[in-house]
Copies of this chain bind each other. A is one copy, B any other.
Amino acid sequence: MKEFTRENIKNLVAYKVDAPQYEIIVNANESAYDFPMILKRQFCDDICNTDLNRYPEACFPELLEALSDYTGVPTEGIICGSGSDEVIALINQAFVDPGDVIVSHSPSFSMYEIWSSIANANYVPVPDLADHIPDLDSIIQKANELDAKIIYLCNPNNPTGYTFSREQILKVLNSVSALLILDEAYIEFFGESSVDLLKKYPNLLVLRTFSKAFGLAGIRCGYALGNKDIIDVLYKVKGPYNLNVMTQKIAVLALKNRDKILSHLGEIRSERETIKSELESLKTLKIYPSGSNFIFFETPLAQAIYQKLLDNNILIKWFKDTDRHPGSIRFSIGKPSENQQILSIIRKVVTENA
Contacts and interface: CB of A to CB of B under 8 A. Distances in A.
A77 B167 CA distance: 51
Given A6-B97, A61-B18, A218 B244 contact: yes
Interface string A228-254: 001011011111111111110010000
Given A12-B236, A57-B18, A94 B218 contact: no
Nearest to A12: B236
Contact of A14 (B6, B44, B120, B238): B238
A83 B239 contact: yes
A80 interface: no
> Which of A13, A19, A52, A216 has its CB near the most chain B CB atoms (within 10 A)?
A52
B242 A82 contact: yes
Interface string A18-56: 110000010010111111010011011001101111111
A59 interface: yes
> Which of A118, A178, A239 has its CB near the most chain B CB atoms (within 10 A)?
A239
Contact of A52 (B41, B59, B89, B218): B218
A144 to B, nearest CB: 11
Given A34-B53, A40-B48, A238-B15, A218 B246 contact: yes
A58 interface: yes
Interface string A142-160: 0000000100000000000
Contacts of A13: 236
A338 to B, nearest CB: 13
Interface string A263-299: 0000000000000000000000000000000000000
B235 A53 contact: no
> Which of A12, A211, A218 has its CB near the most chain B CB atoms (within 10 A)?
A218
A219 interface: yes
Given A53-B32, A93-B9, A220 B237 contact: no
A95 interface: yes
A179 interface: yes
Contacts of A238: 14-15
Interface residues of A, number: 85
A203 B1 contact: yes
Given A15-B58, A245-B219, A233 B179 contact: no
A17 interface: yes
A5 B94 contact: yes
A127 interface: no
A268 to B, nearest CB: 13
Contacts of A235: 14-16
Contacts of A17: 58-59
A67 B118 CA distance: 27
A54 B19 contact: yes
A22 to B, nearest CB: 11
Contacts of A34: 51-53
Given A4-B203, A5-B233, A31-B53, 13 more contacts: A4-B233, A9-B236, A15-B235, A16-B59, A17-B58, A18-B59, A28-B55, A37-B48, A82-B243, A82-B244, A83-B239, A86-B242, A244-B244
13 contacts: A1-B177, A2-B203, A4-B233, A5-B95, A17-B59, A30-B53, A34-B52, A40-B48, A53-B217, A55-B211, A56-B220, A82-B243, A220-B243
